[in-house]
Structure 1
């Protein structure tokens, strides 16, 4: 939105007059005096800049920058949405947007499709993961860095977008004219029977249709003979509080307390109960979480843990115990404000970071484990606050090696899978596909010809030793000795691949399956090979052990 400079000056004069009214009608000792005084200072500073600064001042950009800096001083969840980002905000809350159903990522200095919604307009047009978008409606990407490709891609349903695409395996770009549609982002991306009697629901988000999707999936799985359930909340960043409450209500009785919010505005404090009859209060449940399960995902996991309704398995969750509300602002802008903390039935708040008392560098302090308070579940099991949901059954998650992290950071697995799809139309079905010796050999050759650079830790250390002894008498002898052993310490990609094959193989399998079979194929792979899912299936197959975890009383 373009702002008329003259109107802008009048707006600031109005702000100054309003500030003046504050000054006239408030007691200097009142905190409102400080608010009015500083608003007056701010308005005056901007007026002076607008009048005298050497270059033309962009009021929209400057004000948005100052608002963002202000909100950043509070917490990461208090956010301003200018008019240009309202569609993005609505997409997050409703799960709907108007476009063609793809996500673009900046990979290898090009804009590539990194995700494509099955049966979306883009998918039906023949586009796939790895395809490079060159231009959108005549705007060549890369020539105007400030242009956001995702914004160019979106438009009203029924309109067409013209894109030039270099598809994998092709030697020349093609032009596609694709009709935009309203795309619904799914919350439940997998709901299936993965073993006899064992149902699995993968919930990736908490937008406005999350509870409805989970209920539908739950009822359908019960029809298919589900007797045990795995609810996967790993990597789920959360979303709407109402959806978390409604999902909890599916598994706990009507009238049970679910969550309580407490903040500065007392009349906004509220206790939420289960308002409806539960769909299922008996089926054994395992909830999978990890360190990227946050907010609404933590509410669901924590509530089911507090009522001993499910065994929580995985790694400690993120620890976001804060609640935000959205406030409408002038000119079709909005602000999301942290207004409260939430407390689950045991009485604990799982917020991990203290944004009120920050470190000297401005970063939030983590609550110390020593300050964690002990609470108890309905059956008397110990649980603690102040740092996320601690699983009942911890599963180890070994950190990736530096080599594997480098492959992921530089998108080498993605690029290889794209090249592979460009040269081979088919691979084995997702349920049977495996990266074998032949594919790994091809990847090794491809990686050696790529621009991938990596230095193994041992080589880094040897170089540091040589550098630290450069001025010493022993340097020449040490250098000569180490150079003779160079084959042992210098980085060799083939050796690194063999050394880390156990962790690289499943990463490459996932990437290749995603390229060929999209999310549906990846779901099939995960339920067959994912260690956390396999561990959950194993525990559900041991009813006595499962029951003992939930009945273990520790309350004095």
Structure 2
């Protein structure tokens, strides 16, 4: 078949668009009916202008143009003036979107990261091909189907691993300590990424961590809650409540959020309302099933990374006085995205409506103006104070974007030092080395003083270093002084040299002050490499938000007061 030029694709697309807009205005649902003629004219004018600019550039520009890059740049520029969630997805990104929403993909069931120029397996899903083949956390991927992974980024490696269900995948695996599994042949299968990484009973309280809201999330969460209730019944100690941990949950499907809400709320309860451009677009979503059990107390945990469907559930539980929300104000992602299929396996994810909680709060936080010269969005007047709304029980709750918790409890912040250790994989790599050296003799708790000494030695071997924020600012000052003097060969001023030494001492003091926390992180990571669930269970014991929720649910009087005006 003779290839069709990109210019012809563009021309065909513009022609199709023009034909679409030649239809009666009443058939264009996206066109506001108050000024249909003007809207129609502006759209046709815009398409005509875009095509003409493209034609003139391709014919007259001084150098040959990459037509694909030019068109993608035009699309990106068009979307840049809208909200950050209206995006164009190419073929590969469209496939990833499908995997995220379904929670399923074809593969072998592992996660990986690149540290110090090597590709490490960071987790393995139990029950799937990689696990069955004996691959474990900390193993290194050397070759895939005979091809080296050296120098390849993670996206390229994922592409190398792709294939259909039932097809073979050959991998060469290395393991720290010399006990290499060697070359392993696996058969790809449908992998379902779990939405409940951990659940369990802590004292008399149920704990449920939800990581996403995919198409199969409802059934998985139902089974997890039923298991908790059975465990409580078998121990003859009824659950005093349930902690639903949505921290770090980026959201997912709207339908999943509504179905999951049904597990904990009375049938017929309003969960969320969506509103688009026209009054006719409003739709109210209510629970359609009976709850899973009697109305036991609920504590919902959120933070700044809880978004979208997480905010729908936490907002509904709060507005209906079904439970108490703890943590930090959530992210504020309250926009409905509709997925529109485009030619050549591309996708447009476009914002078509907004989410509102049962009390009427808009979940979406105001997004910053893009700074472009032509502003296509109308700005509402800035509020001098956060708007007040009321729950079913007449409690005050506040708008302004995101869900504000009933009880503010901050997560433990990560210092610059810890962030850099994690980014460079130092904690992970030390755990790999530690388990290889100590084999099956790892026993908890570990001697933390010895652990810190060994870790310090490991960091020296890895030539680890990091620059603190004050040091970066001093570097900028030093460059500015050199530029002002106009002599790049001039010696370093004594004052700057002294500051460098002082900042280095301050940084070392902060690092030493964090030794206890770093030792605990090392303990947990070493444990995770052997038993992820045990590591998570131990981690919850140090979690200030979880501990606050446990104390709240253990005191019915305090819990009850939190739900009153």
Q: TM-score, normalised by structure 1?
A: 0.86
In 2, Cα distance between the equivalents of 1:100 and 1:179? Answer: 7
The separation in 2 between residues aligned to 1:462 and 1:79, in whole angstroms, is 39
Aligned CA distance change for structure 1 residues 507 and 53 (closer, same or farther; 3 Å): farther
Q: CA deviation at 1:19?
A: 6.3
Could you tell me which residue of structure 2 aligns to residue 288 of structure 1? Answer: 301
Residue number in structure 2 paired with 1:522:
535
- Provide the C-alpha distance between the structure 1 equivalents of 2:166 and 2:454, rounded to a whole number of angstroms: 43
**C-alpha distance in 2, partners of 1:480/1:12?**
61
Q: Which residue in the other structure is 1:199 paired with? A: 206
For the structure 1 residues 66 and 134, does the alpha-carbon distance in structure 2 shift closer, same or farther, using more than 3 Å as the test?
Answer: farther
> How many residue pairs were aligned?
541
Rounded Cα–Cα distance in structure 1 between residues aligned with 2:478 and 2:12: 67
Task: Answer yes or no: is the 8 Å Cα contact 2:83–2:367 preserved in 1.
Answer: no
**How far apart are the structure 2 equivalents of 1:56 and 1:145?**
30
Q: Tell me which of 106, 128, 139 is aligned to 1:131.
A: 139
> 1:253 deviation in Å?
1.0
Q: Give 1:443 shift.
A: 0.2
Using the TM superposition, give the Cα deviation of residue 378 of structure 1 relative to its aligned residue in structure 2, in angstroms. Answer: 1.4
In the TM superposition, residue 428 of structure 1 has moved relative to its aligned partner by 4.1
Cα separation, partners in 2 of 1:467 and 1:101, compared to 1, 3 Å: closer
1:453 — aligned with what? Answer: 465
Corresponding position of 1:264: 277
In 2, Cα distance between equivalents of 1:146 and 1:541? 45
Among 11, 14, 37, which residue is 2:12 paired with? 14
CA contact (8 A) 1:374 1:382 kept: yes
Deviates further, 279-288 or 520-529 = 520-529
Query: Who is 2:39 aligned against?
Result: 31
What SS does structure 2 have at the residue aligned with 1:230? strand
Residue 224 of structure 2 is matched in structure 1 by 217
Counterpart of 1:532 (choices 523, 541, 545) is 545
Give the CA deviation at 1:18.
4.8
- For residue 134 of structure 1, report the CA deviation from its aligned partner: 2.7
Cα 1:379–1:69, aligned 2, differ >3 Å: closer, same or farther? same
Which stretch has the larger CA shift, 117-126 or 163-172?
Answer: 163-172
Do the aligned residues in 2 keep the contact of 1:454 with 1:491 (CA within 8 Å)?
Answer: no
- Asked whether 1:73 is paired with 2:81, we answer yes
Which residue in 1 is equivalent to 2:362? 349
State the 1:286 CA deviation. 0.7
Matched, 1:182 2:190: yes
Pairing partner for 1:401 from 403, 408, 415: 415
1: CA distance between counterparts of 2:295 and 2:280? 36
* Unmatched tracts of structure 2, length 5 or more: 26-35, 233-238
Does structure 2 conserve the Cα–Cα contact (< 8 Å) formed by 1:194 and 1:200? yes
C-alpha distance in structure 2 between counterparts of 1:96 and 1:209, whole Å: 9
1:510 to 503, 524, 527: 524
Q: 1:314-463 maps to which residues of 2 (within 5 A)?
A: 314-354=327-367, 357-359=369-371, 370-426=384-440, 428=442, 432-434=444-446, 436-455=448-467
Answering whether residue 253 of structure 2 is matched by residue 246 of structure 1, we say no
1:119 aligns with 2:127: yes
Q: Is the 8 A contact 2:301 2:326 kept in 1?
A: yes
Q: For residues 112 and 46 of structure 1, do their structure 2 counterparts lie closer, same or farther at Cα, with a shift above 3 Å needed?
A: farther
Deviations 1:91-131 (A, max 9, x none): 11110101011222232233222232223211222222333
Unaligned runs of 5+ residues in structure 1 are none
Deviations 1:343-384 (A, max 9, x none): 1111111211236x5556999999967342100111111101
